[in-house]
Structure 1
């Protein structure tokens, strides 16, 4: 299998079908395929050879879809970078992954200029926006117009499709290496769960496409013959308008987005009757919110996917029918057809139903490993199973429940935030003697990044000061949204900070310590 084969299939079966929609710009399958061929030709002319990494920093657009297809078409490797990162974080990934070519759009032209100056291995920056091409960059549309169409390299199978960066437990991002087979196995296996995506539907993309979840949904839609409607940014009014005016049938949302949409004063005035499938992830949805969302989308079926980038990304699925049973809605669903999932103890022995342990997963959708991180790869994939770092249990019917995290990670508004990254930034502040970062419950974000700080004598740094300081060094979404000052942190005999003790005060009434 190879990623671009579904574009070939669409060309044979339905070349005049609208493939991408961005505002008033509509491109058919045939038009998109021609542009993909020419972009692949341009990448080769710029020196991209077999296995070279090509990065993109941009908002959702039709050109992002072209990038996802043209890079493997040219026999190169995708590296879609998180557009919410700081320039320093972007530069780290570009240098580590040895990126030679970078694509940026209007919103990130300035970041592209900065990266061109600070990353010595970056040979060219391609501007793929609608505005005027900045000095020192190559114009995307001119490259496409002036390049000969390339033959598809049909890069596929076990070959590397992309390096997808996640947060790191040590404070630096890790590049997850996924093959074509792993990503396609995941998409096809997830579709096999049943009524997940419409056939020949109209799919709205508002979740960022640099995330593997966004790419996963795009791929399932492409396999099922969807028209892809793209929104550059999420706003509740923008999504509600697009759902109605573009006759959307399918959409991926996170619970934070859902809450903002049902709270919007215009939500009840929109005709949302054509929405048939809503896929959500990152956390189980609160019962009260689910009731409101189901009432708003009366004709939609809901499904939840649980997983991680390292699993391409789906491990379990809570199917539409499961949502009719209140006792199942707080679960993460059952193992998807392509995945084996179990719960193990500290010795990696499977534990009985109802017993807490670590959730582990294996299957052909697993990552190849972490880019240049052999030690981390060996630790994560020990025994042939991906160790998720999530603590939970399985019930007697095979439904999995996530109740805590063994790894030090917070999920806030659909984004993974590793505490070590935030702590490393905080410790550079002159007023901070020691700190611990935890996730606490938040009605809007699910979990909120919260800093517990031991200040130097005579200092009392406030939340806004700490947040602004961190935002200069890491992405804004990672910066603490709340904080507290303490005289000391609880320390175990091993010297490790007891974060469970810090979380207790915030999660005492919830029955678990994650959302």
Structure 2
């Protein structure tokens, strides 16, 4: 579908399979989608979405009988002649990729054909995914890190191996059967994979490289992974959807030997080919080496903007640089270290969770007077969504009731896993803004970085 959309001159909008139907309905309406392709697993959800959006054409792409109200993918192919390549240009829109919204609603990241190809070529130039690669798509392809890898593999002549979803043993089985050489996993997946008791039962000798990203990896997990897979090289990719998605790479050599002795395994790497990275202060001025500021990126991989959100686009791309919202510093050798987040975002199990979106859900409960959502450390997921709630006078609510309330409104992975209920007002700045740094402090003190 990625390739077909580009060929015919359309725009692909991959939907998040973990979102609720309401969240995906909002995305479809926002971009005014005209067709939705579903398989057996999502046929029922597709029918619900089509009821909410009558203009949506449903296409069923799977084996078995085509459900009522849908058109069969194979039937459409049989009934139509091939069409010529629309010959889209580099500056033409290729896809809209929805990411969590800092204002409580998802934003559509517009990526051009040029953006996607720039990232694909940058990765190949760095030595990732050569023509000999057999790459396993274990992470979901609506996540651009995994979806974008496909473009590099198609350009290099490598092979793509698909599995329906991530499970440790499913990954092991695919690696053994298809002699997989490369895979991208988020740190939570790596932890589940290398700690699984069945690891020793599979032949993983073909595996050469694990690329990890989406969130920092703990040194403990990295050490266990290296010990369990001594012949595998680990490469970190740091970036975001708005960057198509790679900004920096930390090559495998920096994880061992001299690089490790210098502490570089804790870095996010150096600017990848075709990218420039700088660290700026609140006035957008470049700060000295070793000084924490906001990480900014410039290059042909930087997005076109946010779909129909010119003001947010202008803020994000001020001065021609993508402002990532991540706090970090750069050393004199160009290595970037991510230490905090400027924006209120939590990364749990490799998924971005914007605190404002969760707060909007929590605040809809009638017992809630005030709330704040923060990320706290979690051994398995990296970060855990935690809500601090002030109840209205005379009102009572339990943590379980609040969590159940949120699950009816937003995707399960976004919902708080823990809730602190208090009658004490939350700390405020002079401007009346909740001081989330003070709420996070007890959980993150004595840690080198305030992201996990």
Per-residue deviation, 1:241: 1.4
The 3-state SS of whatever aligns with 2:210 is strand
The 3-state SS of whatever aligns with 2:402 is helix
Tell me what 1:489 maps to: 426
Is the counterpart of residue 118 in structure 1 residue 55 in structure 2?
no
Is the counterpart of residue 231 in structure 1 residue 231 in structure 2?
no
Distance in 2 (alpha carbons) for counterparts of 1:401 and 1:143: 50
Kept in 2, the 8 Å contact 1:284–1:329? The answer is no
Is the counterpart of residue 312 in structure 1 residue 244 in structure 2?
yes
Per-residue deviation, 1:459: 4.0
The 3-state SS of whatever aligns with 1:290 is helix
The 3-state SS of whatever aligns with 1:163 is strand
The 3-state SS of whatever aligns with 1:152 is coil
Kept in 1, the 8 Å contact 2:186–2:213? The answer is yes
Alignment of 1:435-450 (within 5 A): 435-450=371-386
Kept in 2, the 8 Å contact 1:273–1:297? The answer is no
Distance in 2 (alpha carbons) for counterparts of 1:221 and 1:453: 47
The 3-state SS of whatever aligns with 1:362 is strand
The 3-state SS of whatever aligns with 1:228 is strand
Kept in 2, the 8 Å contact 1:198–1:250? The answer is no
Alignment of 1:31-430 (within 5 A): 67-122=1-56, 124-194=57-127, 196-324=128-256, 325-326=259-260, 327-430=263-366
Distance in 1 (alpha carbons) for counterparts of 2:371 and 2:184: 36
Tell me what 1:51 maps to: none
- CA deviation string 1:47-92 (max 9, x = no partner): xxxxxxxxxxxxxxxxxxxx01111111111111111111111111
Distance in 2 (alpha carbons) for counterparts of 1:355 and 1:281: 23
Distance in 2 (alpha carbons) for counterparts of 1:295 and 1:141: 47
Distance in 1 (alpha carbons) for counterparts of 2:67 and 2:120: 38
Structure 1 gap ranges (5+): 1-66
The 3-state SS of whatever aligns with 1:484 is strand
- CA deviation string 1:240-299 (max 9, x = no partner): 111112211110101000111122110122211110111110122211211211222222
Distance in 1 (alpha carbons) for counterparts of 2:138 and 2:285: 40
The 3-state SS of whatever aligns with 1:78 is coil
Distance in 2 (alpha carbons) for counterparts of 1:279 and 1:460: 46
- Tell me: CA distance 1:131–1:427, structure 2 relative to 1, closer, same or farther (3 Å): farther
More displaced, 247-256 or 298-307?
298-307
Tell me what 2:451 maps to: 514
Kept in 2, the 8 Å contact 1:409–1:416? The answer is yes
Kept in 2, the 8 Å contact 1:161–1:180? The answer is yes
- CA deviation string 1:99-118 (max 9, x = no partner): 01111111111111111111
Per-residue deviation, 1:198: 3.8
Per-residue deviation, 1:480: 0.7
Question: How many residues align structurally?
Answer: 447
The 3-state SS of whatever aligns with 1:425 is helix
The 3-state SS of whatever aligns with 1:450 is strand
Distance in 2 (alpha carbons) for counterparts of 1:333 and 1:398: 8
Distance in 2 (alpha carbons) for counterparts of 1:271 and 1:462: 48
Per-residue deviation, 1:218: 1.3
Kept in 1, the 8 Å contact 2:123–2:129? The answer is no
Structure 2 gap ranges (5+): none
Per-residue deviation, 1:317: 0.4
Per-residue deviation, 1:456: 2.4
- CA deviation string 1:411-449 (max 9, x = no partner): 111111100110001111122211100000011110111
Kept in 1, the 8 Å contact 2:131–2:156? The answer is yes
Distance in 1 (alpha carbons) for counterparts of 2:369 and 2:320: 41
The 3-state SS of whatever aligns with 2:123 is helix
Per-residue deviation, 1:190: 2.2
Distance in 2 (alpha carbons) for counterparts of 1:210 and 1:255: 18
The 3-state SS of whatever aligns with 1:79 is coil
Instruction: Give the 4+ runs in structure 1 shifted more than 6 A.
Output: none
- TM-score of the aligned structures, taking structure 1 as reference length: 0.85
Tell me what 2:399 maps to: 463
Distance in 2 (alpha carbons) for counterparts of 1:464 and 1:297: 40
Distance in 1 (alpha carbons) for counterparts of 2:348 and 2:64: 33
Tell me what 2:441 maps to: 504
Kept in 2, the 8 Å contact 1:95–1:121? The answer is no
Question: What is the RMSD computed on CA atoms of the aligned residues?
Answer: 1.2
Kept in 1, the 8 Å contact 2:107–2:307? The answer is yes
Per-residue deviation, 1:458: 4.2
